[in-house]
Chain A
C-alpha cells in the first residue's frame, strides 16, 4: 500500500503506522509539528517502511493546507491508494462547556475540517480509480450521552458522513472504513479512569489493519464495544437520562 497518514505520531495512529511499516508499506505523514513528524518518519523507516518516509506539515485547524499537503504526498509517493486519518481533538464535556473557544476548535477539527480533509482525499483517490479511506470516528457518536455531548455530536456527524461516502462511492472503487474506538489507553485518554473493556493501541491497530485490508466498512475496537454500543443504542431515553455513561 501507499499510504498518506494524518496523525501517525501518536496513540492509535502511531501503532497502526508501525504495523504498516513493518509489512513494508510506503508511508507519507501529515501532522502539526515538523520535528515530531521527522522523528516518527525515521522510526517507521527503521521498522521497515518501503523507501523513505516523507512528511508535510498539516493542521486539522487549517483546512487551507489540506490540498497542498495531499499534493505533496502524491508527488513524493508517486500516487497513493490509501488515506488514513487518526488525528482529532478531545476534551472532557465540562471543559468544553466552560470554554467556548475550545468548543469551537474541537467541533471544527473533529467534524467540519475532518470532513473537508476527507473530501480532498476522496477526490484524489477517485481521480486514480479509487482506493481506501480509513477515518477514526468514535463510539461517542453512537448516542447522545452526558459525558461526551459535544465531542460525541461531532463524531456522530462524522460517522454519518463516512457512511454516506461508503454507500455512494464503493461501487466506484473507493472503500471507506469508519473506525469507532471505545476506550483505548492512549495519551488522549490519559488521566481518565479506564472503564471495563479498555483497549490497547497495538491491539486496536491490528484489528483496524485487518478491516482495512478486507474493506470492512465499520470497525468497533476493541470488538466488544460493538455489543456495548448495541446495548446503549437500544436503551430507552428514560434510562439514558438516569445513567452517567
Chain B
C-alpha cells in the first residue's frame, strides 16, 4: 500500500500501486493508471478500498522517431522533460506544453493538456496520431482516429477512464532553435488584462497572462502579459539550454507559507519588479513554459494540508467579457490568495469528447486549503462558471461538487455512453470518477 496524492496533496488515498518497467503487465487488472502524479486533485488516484493503480513512470522508452515528419512513438511513461532533453537540441519540440515538464505522455493524453499556444495549436490530442491501450476487458489495442475513432476521441481528455495508455504516437513540431523570444508588459487592470491577451493572440503563437488575484477595486486584474515565439537561430545562443532544477523546498513548513498575509506583498513585488516598460529578449524555454520547474517540491510551500488549484473556462460570446469581471468580483470578494494566477484565451474545441478547452477565457489560481472557506470559494466560482456556460478542468480539480459538474457538462452522457460500451462492468474508475461521475464508491 502507498499513500498517494496529486500535486495539491489533497486528497490522500492509501492504495496498492504497481510501479514497473513492464507497465503493460502492471495494467492487467488495474482500475486506473497514473504517471508522475502532477494532476492536482484526485484524477490520478484510485478509488480507496482495494483498487489497484498502475504507475507508468518507469515505462519510458522511445520506440520510434522519424526526423522527416517529427512523429515520435514512446512508452506512455516518458516525461515531457525527457522528451525535451532529447529532442530540443535536435530541433523538435512537443507541439503543446503544459505548465510543467513533469508530466508523462500518457498524462498529457489523459488530460488532453493545453498550453500558451492553444489559440493556434489546440490541445495535445490534436497532434496525437495513435495510442496503444489496454481496454477494460484486458485486450491491448492500437487506437487511432482510423481504427477506433469513438474510443480515440473519448480517450483524449478522458482522464484515463477509457483504458490504460501504454504507448503514445505524436507529431512533434520542428523549431528554429530551442530558445524562446519573449516580450512582456505590465497591465493596469482587468480590462487591459483581457484586451492585451486577446490582442496578443492575434499575432503571437504563445500568449498568457499572470495576474494579481488579491487586488480589488480599480487595480483588480492588474498583471503581466507575456508573449513569445521560438527564437530564430540568429538571435538564440548557440548551445542548447540545460534543463536542471535549481532549488528545492526540502521540508514541509509547519503551516502554509502561501497565505493571506504573504501573497499580497509577493504579488505586488512580482508586479512592480517587472517595471513599467516593455521587456523583450531571448529566454530559456524553462523560464517561459515551466517557470515553477525550477523549484523542486514547490507544492511543499503550502504545508502538509496541501492546496487546491482551480481552473475554469468562461465563454466570451461576441467578445462580451463582463462574465470575467463577475468572476473576478466573486473571487476577490471571498479572498483568493493565489501566487500563481494565470489567464489564457483558448481557441476552438478539439477532438476530445470531454476535453477541457473551448473558446473563451481560461483562469487558473492556486489556493491553500482552508477548509470550508476554500470549498465556499470553489462553489461560488462554479456557480458563475455554470451560469456562463463554461466548464472546469478535471486535472486541476479536487473540490467541485458532482451536481455542479454534471450541470456544466452536457457532453457527459455522450462520453459516458462510449465509456460504458468499452467497459460495461465499470472496471476502470478513479477517486475522481467516484466523486464526480457517479461511479460505484
Contact with B along A1-12 (1 / 0, CB 8 A): 000000001110
Contact with B along A35-70 (1 / 0, CB 8 A): 010011011001100000000000000000000000
Looking at the complex, which one of A9, A42, A46, A47 makes contact with B21 (CB distance below 8 Å)? A9
Do A42 and B20 form a contact, CB below 8 Å, given A47-B86, A187-B58?
Answer: no
- Measured between beta carbons, the chain A residues less than 8 angstroms from B21 are 9-11, 14, 187
Contact B20 A187 (CB under 8 A): yes
- Measured between beta carbons, the chain B residues less than 8 angstroms from A46 are 62, 64-65, 86
- Measured between beta carbons, the chain A residues less than 8 angstroms from B63 are 39, 42-43
Contact B19 A42 (CB under 8 A): no
Smallest CB–CB gap between A66 and chain B, Å?
A: 24
Contact B61 A40 (CB under 8 A): yes
Q: Please report the C-alpha to C-alpha distance between residue A24 and residue B201 in the assembled complex, in whole angstroms.
A: 42
Query: A190 at the A/B interface (Cβ < 8 Å)?
Result: yes
Contact B58 A42 (CB under 8 A): no
Contact A42 B86 (CB under 8 A): no
Smallest CB–CB gap between A36 and chain B, Å?
A: 8
Smallest CB–CB gap between A226 and chain B, Å?
A: 23
Looking at the complex, which one of B20, B58, B61, B65 makes contact with A39 (CB distance below 8 Å)? B61
- Measured between beta carbons, the chain A residues less than 8 angstroms from B64 are 42, 46
Q: Please report the C-alpha to C-alpha distance between residue A46 and residue B66 in the assembled complex, in whole angstroms.
A: 10
- Measured between beta carbons, the chain A residues less than 8 angstroms from B62 are 42-43, 46-47
- Measured between beta carbons, the chain B residues less than 8 angstroms from A187 are 19-21, 58
Interface residues on B, range: 10 to 19
Contact A190 B20 (CB under 8 A): yes
Contact B61 A190 (CB under 8 A): no
Smallest CB–CB gap between B377 and chain A, Å?
A: 37
Name A's interface SS: helix
Q: Please report the C-alpha to C-alpha distance between residue A11 and residue B20 in the assembled complex, in whole angstroms.
A: 9
Smallest CB–CB gap between B57 and chain A, Å?
A: 11
Contact with A along B41-59 (1 / 0, CB 8 A): 0000000000000000010
Smallest CB–CB gap between B261 and chain A, Å?
A: 35
Q: Please report the C-alpha to C-alpha distance between residue A43 and residue B77 in the assembled complex, in whole angstroms.
A: 13
Q: Please report the C-alpha to C-alpha distance between residue A11 and residue B21 in the assembled complex, in whole angstroms.
A: 8
- Measured between beta carbons, the chain B residues less than 8 angstroms from A47 are 62, 86
- Measured between beta carbons, the chain B residues less than 8 angstroms from A42 are 61-64
8 A Cβ contacts from A142-201 to B: 187, 190
Q: Please report the C-alpha to C-alpha distance between residue A14 and residue B58 in the assembled complex, in whole angstroms.
A: 10
- Measured between beta carbons, the chain B residues less than 8 angstroms from A10 are 21
Q: Please report the C-alpha to C-alpha distance between residue A9 and residue B65 in the assembled complex, in whole angstroms.
A: 19
Among residues of B, the one whose C-beta sits closest to the C-beta of A186 is B58
Smallest CB–CB gap between B79 and chain A, Å?
A: 12
- Measured between beta carbons, the chain B residues less than 8 angstroms from A39 are 61, 63
- Measured between beta carbons, the chain A residues less than 8 angstroms from B86 are 46-47
Q: Please report the C-alpha to C-alpha distance between residue A187 and residue B54 in the assembled complex, in whole angstroms.
A: 13
- Measured between beta carbons, the chain B residues less than 8 angstroms from A14 are 21
Among residues of A, the one whose C-beta sits closest to the C-beta of B87 is A46
Smallest CB–CB gap between B133 and chain A, Å?
A: 17
Among residues of B, the one whose C-beta sits closest to the C-beta of A42 is B63
Smallest CB–CB gap between A210 and chain B, Å?
A: 18
Q: Which of A9, A36, A43, A47 gathers the greatest number of chain B CB atoms within 10 Å?
A: A43
Among residues of B, the one whose C-beta sits closest to the C-beta of A185 is B19
Contact with A along B5-22 (1 / 0, CB 8 A): 000000000000001111
Can you list 21 pairs linking A and B with CB atoms under 8 Å apart?
A9-B21, A10-B21, A14-B21, A36-B22, A39-B61, A40-B61, A42-B61, A42-B62, A42-B63, A42-B64, A43-B61, A43-B63, A46-B62, A46-B64, A46-B86, A47-B62, A187-B19, A187-B20, A187-B21, A187-B58, A190-B19
Interface residues of A (CB under 8 A from B): 9-11, 14, 36, 39-40, 42-43, 46-47, 187, 190
Give 3 closest A-B pairs by Cβ, nearest first. Answer: A43-B61, A46-B62, A43-B62
Known contacts A40-B61, A42-B62, A47-B86; 9 additional CB pairs below 8 A are: A10-B21, A39-B61, A39-B63, A42-B61, A43-B61, A43-B62, A43-B63, A46-B62, A187-B21
